[in-house]
Amino acid sequence: MAKKKSVLDLMKMKKAGEKVAWITAYDYPTAMFAEAAGMDMLLVGDSLGMVTLGYSGTIPVTMEDCISHCQAVRRGAPKTWIIGDMPFGSYQTSDEDAVKNAVRFLKEADTDCIKLEGGVRVQSRIRAITDAGIPVIGHIGLTPQSSGQLGGFKAQGRTVENARGVIEDALAVQEAGAFALLVEAVPPEVTGFITKKLDIPVYSIGAGDCDGQLLISSDMVGKFQAFTPKFVKKYANVAEAETNAYKEYIKDVKEGVFPSDEYVYHITDPEEEFEKLFNEFK
């Protein structure tokens, strides 16, 4: 198995034109499978609120939720670069709170860096966290935590005026000291310009070709069924396979087919000894 990526490795990959492949992971099995497949990075995203905890959005997700899921992912992928996602409320109030909560990810969950949403408006937060020695990935474009301000889960940067704001956010993230940038739901023309303009790696989730790609694991394997973003390519249909397995199990139980002889444990002492035992309790 390849060694865990580092910030230096990710910079080298950008310069060499080698793409970075990463997905979200929220639990031990997913992390284990992703590491076995050779995934470059794993993001324990606050999207766990929707795809794991059943919330309608990411806002209810707490630091405790994120730390717990990061711990599970680290146990499943001990040799993979893991990113902790700063949930809503963990960095908005002050630079001091941002640093304190970022530290928690590294100390309590053994993540390798953190991610937070925003560009110009969170520049001081990024700078404070990086000054504390913690690597940061910025996140601009469609930022789910502030989707209400954006008019919902809508693509960004589709007009010249809106694209200017996205570019300004990208520059602010790099200037603040982040080592990488995630761009979400932005036209590829804008993402391409940003990728060439910035020295740091630029990664995409629904934003076209750049230095690497991120997808929500539950989307790409067809496990989350509430909705599927336009930019998701489904590589499997876990929901269908799992539902069909449950249906077959229910049928077997109802018809008395399961458990059959091969799925039970057999006695080792003579049957007559067990008859004596049972008779004691009659």
Using the predicted structure, report yes or no on whether residue 1 has a pLDDT greater than 70: no
Q: Are residues 163 and 252 in the same domain?
A: no
Q: Can you tell me which residue has the tokens 């979200």?
A: 24
In a domain, residue 1? The reply is no
Does the pLDDT of residue 152 top 70, yes or no? no
* Number of compact structural domains in the chain: 2
Residue 68 is assigned to a structural domain of this protein: yes
Length of the chain: 282
Domain co-membership, 78 together with 181? yes
Separation of alpha carbons 265 and 214, rounded Å:
46
Q: Is residue 95 part of a domain?
A: yes
**Separation CA 85–CA 109 (nearest Å):** 12
Residues 181 and 265 in one domain: no
- Per the domain annotation, does 259 fall within a domain? yes
Query: Do 232 and 208 belong to one domain?
Result: yes
Dist. CA 67–CA 228, nearest whole Å: 26
Q: Are residues 230 and 267 in the same domain?
A: no
Q: Are residues 18 and 128 in the same domain?
A: yes
Residues 155 and 249 grouped into a single domain:
no
Residue 117 known to be catalytic: no
Shared domain check, 266 and 252: yes
pLDDT in tens, 191-228: 999 999 999 999 999 999 999 999 999 999 999 877 77
Q: Are 148 and 178 in contact, with CB atoms under 8 Å apart? A: no
Out of 96, 184, 273, 280, the active site residue is 184
**Is residue 2 situated within a structural domain?**
no
CA 253, CA 243: separation in Å to the nearest integer?
A: 15
What are the structure tokens assigned to 233, written together?
């390519």
pLDDT at position 149: 56
Tens digits of residue pLDDT in 237-264: 999 999 999 999 999 999 999 999 999 9
CA gap 177, 116 in Å, rounded: 13
Among residues of the chain, what percentage have pLDDT more than 90? 89
First-residue to last-residue Cα distance in the chain: 60
> pLDDT tens digits for 24-50?
999 999 999 999 999 999 999 999 999
Regarding whether 209 and 269 lie in a shared domain, the answer is no
Task: Give the domain CATH number at 95.
Answer: 3.20.20.60
Q: What CA–CA distance (Å, rounded) separates 164 from 190?
A: 9
97 and 199, same structural domain?
A: yes
List the domain range (segments joined by +) for residue 267: 241-280
- 252 within a domain of the structure (yes/no): yes
25 and 125 share one domain: yes
Q: Is residue 30 in some structural domain?
A: yes
163/270 same-domain check? no
- pLDDT(146) > 80: no
pLDDT tens sequence across 74-104: 999 999 999 999 999 999 999 999 999 999 9
Q: What is the rounded average pLDDT of the residues 144-150?
A: 64
Listed residue (136, 165, 138) closest to 150, CA to CA: 165
